[in-house]
Chains A and B, each alone.
Chain A
Amino acid sequence: MAFVVDETFSSISGEEIPNIYQLVVEKANDETEPLDNRVSATVENIIERFFNDERNALIYICSDTDNKANLRNKVFNRWYQKSKLKDAILKIEKVIPINSPGFPEQQIYTSFLFHKQNPNYKKLKEIYNKIDDVLNNDK
Chain B
Amino acid sequence: MMYFCIMADKKEIKRDVIIKSFTKMVSDKESVRAYIKGKTTVKAITKKGIKLAKPL
Q: Measured between alpha carbons, how far is A49 from B56 in the docked complex, in Å?
A: 6
Instruction: List residues of B (16-30) whose CB comes within 8 Å of A's CBs.
Output: 17-30
Q: Measured between alpha carbons, how far is A30 from B36 in the docked complex, in Å?
A: 11
Count, A-B residue pairs, CB within 8 A: 93
Q: In the complex, are the beta carbons of A134 and B14 less than 8 A apart?
A: yes
Taking the nearest CB of chain B, how far is it from the CB of A123, in angstroms?
17
Q: In the complex, are the beta carbons of A50 and B56 less than 8 A apart?
A: yes
Q: Which residues of A contact B29 (CB under 8 A)?
A: 4, 22, 24, 61, 63
CB contact between A26 and one of B19, B27, B32 (< 8 Å): that residue: B32
Cβ of A8 within 8 Å of any chain B Cβ, yes or no, is: yes
Q: In the complex, are the beta carbons of B22 and A30 less than 8 A apart?
A: no
Q: Which residues of B contact A131 (CB under 8 A)?
A: 18
Q: In the complex, are the beta carbons of B25 and A11 less than 8 A apart?
A: no
Q: How many residues of B contact A (CB 8 A)?
A: 30
Interface class of chain B by DSSP: helix
CB contact between A3 and one of B22, B27, B33, B54 (< 8 Å): that residue: B54
Cβ of A138 within 8 Å of any chain B Cβ, yes or no, is: yes
How many of chain A's residues touch chain B, expressed as a range? 35 or more
Q: In the complex, are the beta carbons of A28 and B36 less than 8 A apart?
A: yes
Q: Measured between alpha carbons, how far is A131 from B37 in the docked complex, in Å?
A: 32
Q: A3-B55, A5-B53, A26-B36 are in contact. Are A11 and B17 (CB under 8 A)?
A: yes
Chain B residues proximal to chain A, CB less than 8 Å = 11, 14-15, 17-30, 32-33, 35-38, 50-56
